[in-house]
A and B are shown apart, each in its own frame.
Chain A
């Protein structure tokens, strides 16, 4: 079997991290090809539901990244996003969801190198952790139990 190649989805803002990823390109900085970027106008637009959807649809890791504090193109979208992430992480933590699979970061338009490093680090981390199967197991187990229960009756 070939080496596990994780699927990493990156939710990024248009003005900082997307531009930073472009800069990595113009500077020809090489990084792991496991990442797929979804572009948003602002981190404030990134709905926590989309993060859940990404995992449900098979992502092994998620990156969320935008402008550094005080650098938001819309002045405060990232501040609102930060509070939301604090709360979201805390609920995932309580439920026991593996929050290590979500990486939050500030990457500015000038930080092409930081972007490349971030993708490499996350890719390595997720590779080490292996595929995300927590959710797949859930429904499987439940259906099997229901089935077992049904036939024993």
Chain B
């Protein structure tokens, strides 16, 4: 911990950063995000295996962007998000310094995004086993039972959009759900509108989601929404060999094609 704090102190001292986004301890087991603006606040900074939040989401916020030179403590999901977002031409307007703590508890300060890319590619995470197990279970059900499962889940959705707020890929200044000319999605929290919202979200994240699982974790009514995008990514890799958050020069399945793409359903 001291190592990390010293490193960040150094970055503040030599003027590399003037804002650090990291983690601090909380009453719960899981640490929470913290924003450090001066060296004297560094002592609260920690990093443990329980640091699950994807902090890259904060880099979109105007309040954060104002700081200009930003340090960010990144777990592997955050690093993937940064790679993906760079491939989507985001963050051209800030200077960011990316740090991570590896398995050997060494602090790494990346000098550029290429280094982040190399690190991500060397440490590319598998899909979580828990998620895959759930998906397997769902796929073992009949179509009607899956429909029943998901519509029951979605009927609980209160359209709080926490899943969107926590997602680093949901950075549109105006979401389609807020578009009212025309109104694509019903505003009230009824199941059809909820269903449309979640299908749309999954479609927009297909091939872009970096599987941090934050959306499922954050959902106040406990809908495992992240499974939708996990499945999408799984399929895209199977069909087209693409991986999200893997390369700086985008490898996005839905803005590319091959003339001989295979499908089994077009008559």
Contacts and interface: CB of A to CB of B under 8 A. Distances in A.
Q: Do A and B touch each other in the complex, judged by CB within 8 A?
A: yes
The main secondary structure of chain B at its interface with chain A is helix
Q: By CB atoms of chain B within 10 A, which of A48, A80, A138, A141 has the most? A: A138
B200 A139 contact: no
B104 interface: no
A142 B191 contact: yes
B261 A83 contact: yes
A83 B253 contact: yes
Interface residues of A, number: 40
Interface in A33-79: 48-49, 52-53, 56, 69-70, 76, 79
Interface stretch (A5-13, A23-31, A98-106): A98-106
Given A49-B200, A91-B228, A142-B155, A103 B267 contact: yes
A134 B154 CA distance: 14
Nearest to B189: A142
Q: Which of A88, A94, A143 is packed against the most chain B CB atoms within 10 Å?
A: A94
Contacts, number: 117
A80 B240 CA distance: 13
A95 B263 contact: no
Contacts of A90: 231-232, 235
24 contacts: A49-B196, A49-B200, A70-B259, A76-B257, A79-B257, A79-B261, A80-B255, A80-B257, A83-B254, A83-B261, A86-B261, A86-B263, A87-B254, A90-B231, A92-B199, A94-B135, A94-B150, A96-B141, A103-B267, A134-B147, A135-B192, A138-B190, A138-B191, A141-B155
